[in-house]
């Protein structure tokens, strides 16, 4: 009896299986109505809304409708391979827009903005190329892709090219930008992160932008906490001109507790990394090549900068911790390799020295650095009376015009220069300055007894 039941069950199963192809052939239309690949993977297909890859016509209305339908069902919208011309797209409050990397391309057709989101809960865009086509954006657009006040942003594995403004702008939001290439932003910068909280910008490539690479800014000074890590940034211009407001690979302004680590940065018109009025900034493990002005800069109203383990090769100034006159103070500058400092810069020198390895003014330790081939000073300590509580110790300086310059102007504060190795200098190992003018002999030889604020000892001069 058991065998009989088993045989009957087997015969029934075989019969059922045999009938499946016939069913599929007999009713293909019904099968398409019941199932689609998009349905099976929980994704809405843009093609189902009438979007046609490669069509020359503007398909903005169709894309907008598809986005809203997908958002209503809380499903991702898949953009198939091909080129789609669109403009004035407003992203709904919940969007997951997915493309095939390197193949799915939205091209801006002009006349307003490209993609904009405001007051969203979740915006996720991955695998898409967004091509601004070098067509003009209205002033309100600010970027090819602009996202404002979003609870969670994810931009991953995208390409953003040909924007006449910023490439990508994210404001007052949380989230991350990963593995994305931004190039050819002709208006301002590649990625502009404004007044965000706990944001991450990691593993991206930003290149050939007219005025900046990655900017982390706030309107008012405050906690920010953005992480900028593992990015490649190169060929950054300064078409707007100025003396450092533009032309920086990574620029921090009024944003506190920003971490900048392990980035590869090259060929920036001004700085590879420039932090203006950013408290508690950490700048660690970056490679900064061929900077037009200062490679790494912490300036103006900052308190707290940790700069360590960076490689600087080619700059007018390697590392600068400046503007004590305006509150800039409190830093550690340690274990950096700084080389090939030239005396030319993108603007006239005026009161500024160039060709300097490391420069600092207040409440700072400079230790364990190696500096080689500086047309000016290996290390510059202070500017006029703006020098206080600085220690320069255990550094190696080779091949500089002057090994160290230190301010001896009345009002300069306590400074210790000890246990350094200085060799290959041309005009002196340690020389006192009154602003730009050298006014002492070599203090490493003659001592600094006449300057009560200086302690110079145990340096090895060769």
pTM over cut 0.75? yes
**pLDDT tens digit at each of 462 positions of the chain:** 344 334 444 444 334 333 333 333 333 333 233 223 344 345 666 656 689 999 999 999 999 999 999 999 999 999 999 999 999 999 999 999 999 999 999 999 999 999 999 999 999 999 999 999 999 999 999 999 999 999 999 999 999 999 999 999 999 999 999 999 999 999 899 999 999 998 999 999 999 999 999 999 999 999 999 999 999 999 999 999 999 999 999 999 999 999 999 999 999 999 999 999 999 999 999 999 999 999 999 999 999 999 999 999 999 999 999 999 999 999 999 999 999 999 998 888 777 889 999 999 999 999 999 999 999 999 999 999 999 999 999 999 999 999 999 999 999 999 999 999 999 999 999 999 999 999 999 999 877 778 999 999 999 998
- The residues that bridge with 297 in the sheet, in sequence order, are 274, 320
Region 38-181: CATH code? 2.160.20.10
- Residue pair 195/219 in contact (Cβ under 8 Å)? The answer is yes
**How do the domains of the chain map onto residue ranges?**
38-181
Tell which residue, 242, 247, 263, 168, has the closest CA to residue 210: 247
Specify the pairing of strand 122-126 against strand 153-156. Answer: parallel
Backbone angles phi, psi at 302, to 5 degrees: -110, 145
Specify the pairing of strand 428-434 against strand 437-442. Answer: antiparallel
- The residues that bridge with 145 in the sheet, in sequence order, are 115, 168
Question: What does the block give as tokens for 23?
Answer: 């069913």
């Amino acid at each position: 009896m058991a065998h009989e039941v088993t045989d009957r069950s087997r015969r029934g199963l075989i019969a059922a299986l045999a009938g499946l192809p016939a069913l599929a052939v007999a009713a293909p239309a019904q099968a398409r109505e019941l199932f689609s690949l998009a349905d099976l993977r929980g994704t809405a297909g843009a093609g189902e809304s009438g979007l046609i890859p490669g069509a020359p016509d503007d398909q903005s209305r169709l894309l907008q409708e598809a986005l809203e339908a997908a958002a209503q069902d809380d499903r991702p919208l898949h953009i198939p391979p091909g080129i789609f011309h669109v403009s004035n797209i407003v992203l709904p409050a919940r969007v997951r827009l997915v493309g095939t990397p390197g193949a799915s391309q939205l091209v801006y057709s002009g006349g307003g903005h490209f993609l904009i989101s405001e007051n969203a809960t979740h915006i996720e865009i991955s695998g898409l190329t967004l091509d601004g086509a070098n067509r003009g954006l209205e002033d309100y657009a600010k970027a090819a892709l602009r996202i404002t006040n979003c609870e969670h942003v994810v931009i991953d594995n995208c390409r953003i090219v040909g924007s006449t403004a910023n490439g990508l702008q994210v404001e007052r939001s949380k989230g991350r930008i990963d593995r994305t290439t931004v190039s050819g932003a002709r208006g301002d910068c590649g990625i502009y992160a404004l007044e965000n909280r706990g944001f991450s910008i990691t593993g991206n490539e930003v290149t050939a932008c007219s005025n900046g690479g990655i900017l982390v800014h706030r309107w008012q000074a405050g906690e920010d906490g953005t992480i900028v890590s593992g990015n490649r940034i190169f060929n950054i211009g300064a078409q707007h001109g100025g003396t450092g407001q533009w032309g920086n690979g990574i620029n921090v302004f009024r944003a506190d507790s920003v971490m900048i680590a392990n980035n590869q940065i090259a060929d920036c018109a001004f700085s590879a990394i420039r932090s203006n009025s950013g408290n508690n900034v950490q700048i660690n493990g970056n490679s900064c090549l061929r900077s037009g002005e200062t490679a790494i800069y912490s300036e103006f109203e900052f308190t707290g900068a940790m700069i360590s383990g960076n490689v600087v090769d080619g700059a007018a100034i390697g590392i600068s911790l400046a503007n004590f006159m305006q509150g800039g103070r409190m830093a550690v500058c340690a274990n950096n390799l700084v080389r090939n400092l030239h005396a030319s810069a993108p603007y006239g020198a005026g009161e500024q020295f160039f060709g300097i390895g490391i420069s600092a003014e207040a409440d700072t330790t400079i230790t364990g650095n190696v500096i080689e081939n500086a047309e000016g000073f290996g290390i510059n300590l202070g500017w006029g009376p703006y020098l206080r509580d600085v220690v320069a110790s255990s550094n190696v300086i080779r091949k500089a015009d002057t090994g160290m310059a230190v301010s001896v102007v009345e009002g300069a504060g306590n400074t210790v220069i000890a246990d350094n190795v200085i060799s290959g200098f041309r005009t002196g190992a340690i020389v006192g300055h009154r602003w730009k003018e050298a006014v002492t002999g070599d203090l490493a030889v003659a001592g600094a007894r006449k300057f009560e604020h200086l302690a110079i000892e145990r340096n090895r001069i060769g």
